[in-house]
Amino acid sequence: MPSLEQFIAQLPKAELHVHLEGCVEPEMLWQLARRHRTPLVEKGETAVRQLYSTTDFQGFLQAFKTVCEHLRTPEDYELITYDALRRLASQNVRYAEVTISAGVMLWKGEDVPSSFEGIAAGYERVRKESGIRVQWIFDAVRQFGPEAALQVAHTAAALKQRGVIGFGIGGDEQKAPAEIFREVFACARREGLHLTAHAGETAGPESVWTALDVLGVERIGHGLTAARDASLVKVLAEKQLPLDICLTSNLRTGVLRQMASHPLRQYLEQGVLLSLNTDDPALFGTDLNREYLLAQKTFGLTMKEMTRLAESSFRAAFLPPDENQIYLSEFGTTALYPRSD
């Protein structure tokens, strides 16, 4: 029998909710700071460590912003993409949908297609080395408002041929409710992009309802607070509308007090389609294998349940059914289901 860690490591997995900028490890941020001689160099490596030890949502946003400020050239993007995807591939992540904060790039006045060339170059190198497949989601920042978000949607649509397949919003749910983005999402849908939104993370279940009913999203980032509304959980299960679960993230940003109070077990029992994800692995000091292990230890998942979660991570992906079938077919093999389970 393999150990639990070995079992998790060999499971084929998809990661659907991971921010490229949140994959920048402290050492790499330090390297970028020295490369661009930013004020962070003066403050020293201790300041970098402090940024990465955040325990609330505002602290997290500040750390994320600092990383974004250090990404300035296509070469920077190539460097961080290569590093991030290599880490994913090393955990047997076969397929990933990586979110890029295009809203922040545009806000910084960056030429997004040029930056994306760097990202594509980093991906190409890892693809050749490992065979991992990646598609991209462009994320707008709620607080920047609908006009900025519309720019993100147009920029994403212009890069559809390069593997940008989705559009979403993230940031502070309290400051910018989903209603104001209705037209932006309608436009993104017309452009043929898949739709997602961070919702039910820092706001209640009403935020998830609006993402479903007003924005027409196909997937929800987090959906932590959906559990407070039984009728919402029922709808999510009936529609098989997936939630991207990010356990460590929820704890580290302070939206969840204790791991054990996360509704993962409840969602599974009620038939909600889930995937496990890291959100910002470097900022939260985690990786996907650790998230599976954490889920197992906290909720007492059986190996069969963990295998189902890994399988669900592909089912929840924005992949055409025929391509998805290639990944799902691996789960038909008995080798993935230990006999004792």
List interacting residues with Zn ion (CB under 5 A): 279
Q: 279 or 291, CB closer to Zn ion?
A: 279
Q: 76 or 279, CB closer to Zn ion?
A: 279
Closest separation in Å from C-beta 46 to Zn ion? 27
Closest separation in Å from C-beta 193 to Zn ion? 17
Q: 97 or 279, CB closer to Zn ion?
A: 279
Indicate which residues carry an active-site annotation.
Answer: 201
The rounded Cα 120 to chain-centroid distance in angstroms is 18
Closest separation in Å from C-beta 246 to Zn ion? 7
3-state secondary structure of 94: strand
Q: 279 or 311, CB closer to Zn ion?
A: 279
Q: 241 or 303, CB closer to Zn ion?
A: 241
Beta bridge partners of 40: none
Q: Residue 309: which of 326, 296, 325 has the closest Cα?
A: 296
Q: 6 or 55, CB closer to Zn ion?
A: 55
Residue 178 parent element (H or E): none
Beta bridge partners of 276: 245
Q: Residue 81: which of 139, 136, 155 has the closest Cα?
A: 136
Can you give the three-state secondary structure of 290-340, one letter per residue?
A: HHHHHHHHHHCCCHHHHHHHHHHHHHCCCCCHHHHHHHHHHHHCHHHCCCC
C-alpha to C-alpha distance for 77 and 120, rounded to whole angstroms: 9
96 phi/psi in degrees, rounded to 5:
-140, 145
C-alpha to C-alpha distance for 174 and 75, rounded to whole angstroms: 35
C-alpha to C-alpha distance for 8 and 113, rounded to whole angstroms: 37
Which structure tokens are listed for 310?
């890994």
Closest separation in Å from C-beta 222 to Zn ion? 7
Contact criterion met (CB below 8 Å) for 45 and 51:
no
Instruction: Burial-class residue 51 by CB neighbours within 10 Å (0-12, 13-18, 19+).
Output: buried
Indicate the DSSP class of residue 54.
-
Closest separation in Å from C-beta 170 to Zn ion? 5
Closest separation in Å from C-beta 188 to Zn ion? 18
Q: Show Cβ contacts of residue 161 under 8 Å, excluding neighbours closer than 6 positions.
A: none
Closest separation in Å from C-beta 314 to Zn ion? 19
Q: How many CA atoms lie within 13 A of 285 on its CB side?
A: 10
End-to-end CA distance of the chain: 11
